[in-house]
Every structure is written in structure tokens, then in C-alpha cells.
Structure 1
Amino acid sequence: MRHNVNSDSRNESEESGWKNSRILIVEDDAHISDIIAAGLQREGYRCTQAYSGSEAMLQLEQSTYELLVLDLMLPGLSGEALMGRLRGELSSSVPVIVLSARDQLDHKLELFGLGADDYVTKPFELAELLARVHAQLKRARPDREAETESYRHRELVLDNRTYQATVKGEPLTLTRQEYRILELLLKHPSRVFTKQDLYTLAWDEPYMGEDKTITVHISNIRNKIKAHCEQNYIDTVWGIGFRLSRTDS
């Protein structure tokens, strides 16, 4: 693993008002965990370290965190199982950055389907991980004072004060990107978004041409809505992209 402990990353967390964000590092390799913690602490973040999935679950049940850095190969409860319980029984939308030595596209898409917000392949530069942490926290708490407090389409409501989505009054457990995609569709109900549009706007990153990423997220949103409502809320515009549904079908 390439560790760039003396990174050139600036103290952006302090400058942006996130100096005290609490981050849970779930990594069974104590050496790697300590290096990550040291880098994050230099940026002003408060870190808690867990060395197994079971220990991490206890921490998540007892405390609140703004972000998780999650290794997959953990003793006992795996990273995938932990993320499933996080999004399921804990109904948490806290951002999760996954660490894994596997870099296959299908594996990444599977993790996004489970609720991961970002993915860093081992070995990695510490500066890159710090930048991704900052980006996730920025997306999680953007400055939206001038924006509308809520958006509604039929029985789907997004509340920008609490960053919660409901359909028929039932809460939807969405990842950050899923929430952002729905927000874009509701803010611009007459616009057709290409996959490139959605990726660029929801991830704040250049589009890398991975069409399946957007398709998986749209499918996840539809399934979560369908669990409470049979109406279709997202239309596929074949050959172009997606838009907010205009009908009740």
C-alpha cells in the first residue's frame, strides 16, 4: 500500500466548517487504520477506529457519525454485511467510502447497489482518500439556504431541511447519490437528463462512461418507491436518459 502521510492536501475541512465531523474507520489492519486516522485527524476530523464488522455495528448503534471509511475484508461480519445492516435495520444514510483491493466494475456496481457512496481501490494514496472524504461531507451538508425547502411530485416529497424523502408519508432510505438524483428530477420536472448529466451533477465528478452506474441507481430508487407505491415516478426516455414521470402509471 502506498501511504503518502505527508500529503499536500490543505485543511479544507476546517475552512469549510466540517472540522469536527466524526468519522468511523472500519479496518482490521491496525497499521492501515492508524495511517488513515492520523491523516484525517491532521485535517481536523474526529476519528473512531473499529477493527471488525461487529465492533463497528456496536459503534453505529451507540454513536452518530458523519461518514464511514469501510474495508470489506473484515473478521466476523463482512463489510458488505455491515453495509446491508446499516442501510437496512439502522435506516442510516451516512455516507460510506469503501476500501477494497478488487477493482472490477461489476464489484463496484454491486457495492453501489448495497448503498456505498464512493469506492477507493487498494493500494491508494492517502491524499486521494482525504479528498474523497471531504467531497462526501461537502455533498452531505451542502449550503442550500437559498434553495427551496422541499420538492413534491404527487405523493413523493423531498425535504431539503432534513434531507429525507417520503412517498405516501413512508420514509425512503436513500444513499446520497440516490437522493441527489431524485432532487435533480424533481427540481427540473420537464427536463430529460442523460446518464452523463446525472452522473456529473449527482457525483460532482467527470463522467467516466460507466452507464451501468446510473442504471443501477435508478433501479434502486424505483424499487424503494415501489415498496410503498405502485405508481411510476421515473420514466426512461429510450436512447436519451431519464425524466420525472408525467403520468400516474
Structure 2
Amino acid sequence: MRVLLVEDDDRLAAALTTALARHGHRVTRAGLAVDALRLAGGADFVLLDLGLPDMDGLDVLRRLRRVSAVPLIVVTARTEEREVLRGLRSGADDYLVKPFRTAELMARMEAVVRRGTRPLPRRDDVVRVGDVLIDLETRHVTVAGEAVALTRREFDVLALLAREPGVVRSREEILDEVWGDPLLSASRSLDVHVAGLRAKTGRPGLVETLRGTGYRLGPPG
């Protein structure tokens, strides 16, 4: 297989490249996120470190999953359960914590390949809800043709819901993805941003609250 190894540690990258080559894989190494995103299209498998110098690996994973269903394992030193869940929710097929044995990595790669390539989720760059247009690529929102100025986090909340319309996102999941801290669930921060979205767009039903469950993008109309 053509394996893209995204790892900024030179010594670890060299050791993994040697091990992968011994198992018959052709390895391309990227030390930066920008190179990983550029090279991923030519890979059959991706091994992704999260601690990259130019971009967080989870952001790389999310961007990659918008356009590719390539099998991918996160290989990282981050051991917290929250980080594991964020990696899997963002689209990783598996999550392996450093240090690990080469045999375990190979076994996990084989298991991911046996499961088959995941279907590529439908990712429209522009999501329409009634007369509201949400451009996920340019981070631009219009209502009835008029531009609406949102804060960064207001748009991030809206974009998370818009990427999979109809899917309910829990408070903890939104706080984890947007704020990076699910423990903020006891605060009113998310409620304030949702209220801001409804007020600025003038569409109270744009973000629908499911009491005790979470939020989802509201239906048109």
C-alpha cells in the first residue's frame, strides 16, 4: 500500500518508515499539515499524528474527511479519553497511542483495511435552510440574500450542525468540538451563542433545541 505518514518527529518517522517498508508498504512522509493535505489524495492509507507544528491534527482530519474516505489511523501521544473520542468522531478509523509496538500498528492497519473503506459522507460546501445559505468553505452566511456577520464561534457552532443536517449534536459534543472543553456544559456559553445565531439571522428556528438531548439544524420554513 501507499502509506502517507504524517509525523513531525524525524526519528520516529524514520523508524516507522523502515518498519512499514519491511512489510511491503511504500511510504511518503509529511512533517507539516499543509503537505499532508496536499499528498493525501495519492495515498491508500494515512497515519496521522495530532501534534503538528502548523495545524492541529484534528483540524487536518476534519478537512481531509470532507473530501476523502481514505483509511486513517491517528497515531499520537495524546492519551486522554476526550482526545480519543474527538479523533474517532472526527473520522479516524482507529486511534493508537504512542509508544506502541510495530506489530500492533500493522495489525490495526490490516483490521481497518478488512473493514473496507468507509463511505464518504455527503459534504456540500453550501447548505441551504429555507432562505438561509451557509457556505462552509468561505464561512459566509446570507439570509434572503443579505450577508450576516457572525462571530467565529457562532459560525463554528452553525457549521458543525450544518455539516450533517438533521443530526442531533449533544451539548457536550458541541462544546468539545468548538470550545475544546466538554466540561463547559455547566456554563451558559453555548446558549448565548445559539441565541446570537437566532437573533442575527432573524430565524429563530434555524437552530432547533431538543430539550435534554442537544441541538440540530432546523427545518426550512
Alignment of 1:187-226 (within 5 A): 224=164, 226=166
Alignment of 1:1-249 (within 5 A): 21-60=1-40, 63-88=41-66, 91-140=67-116, 164=119, 172=122, 224=164, 226=166
Q: Is the 8 A contact 2:48 2:75 kept in 1?
A: yes
CA distance in 2: counterparts of 1:96 and 1:87, whole angstroms: 10
Residues 80 and 65 of structure 1: is their aligned pair in 2 closer, same or farther, counting only changes over 3 Å? same
Aligned to 1:202: none
| TM-score normalized by the length of structure 1 | 0.48
Q: How far is the alpha carbon of 1:224 from its aligned partner?
A: 3.0
Flag the structure with larger Rg: 2
Q: For CA contacts below 8 A with separation 6 or more, give which structure has more relative contact order.
A: 1
Q: Is the 8 A contact 1:72 1:80 kept in 2?
A: yes
> Size of the alignment, in residue pairs?
131
- Name stretches of at least 5 consecutive residues in structure 1 with no aligned partner: 1-20, 142-162, 166-170, 174-219, 228-249
CA distance in 2: counterparts of 1:58 and 1:129, whole angstroms: 24
Between the aligned residues of both structures, percent identity stands at 36
Q: Secondary structure at the match of 1:172?
A: coil
CA distance in 2: counterparts of 1:118 and 1:48, whole angstroms: 20
Q: Is the 8 A contact 2:46 2:72 kept in 1?
A: yes
Q: Secondary structure at the match of 1:120?
A: strand
Q: Deviations over 1:194-243 (max 9, x none)?
A: xxxxxxxxxxxxxxxxxxxxxxxxxx9xx73627xxxxxxxxxxxxxxxx
Aligned to 1:8: none
Q: How far is the alpha carbon of 1:78 from its aligned partner?
A: 2.0
Q: Is the 8 A contact 2:69 2:119 kept in 1?
A: no
Q: Is the 8 A contact 1:53 1:79 kept in 2?
A: yes
CA distance in 2: counterparts of 1:54 and 1:76, whole angstroms: 8
Q: How far is the alpha carbon of 1:164 from its aligned partner?
A: 4.2
RMSD over aligned CA atoms reads 2.6
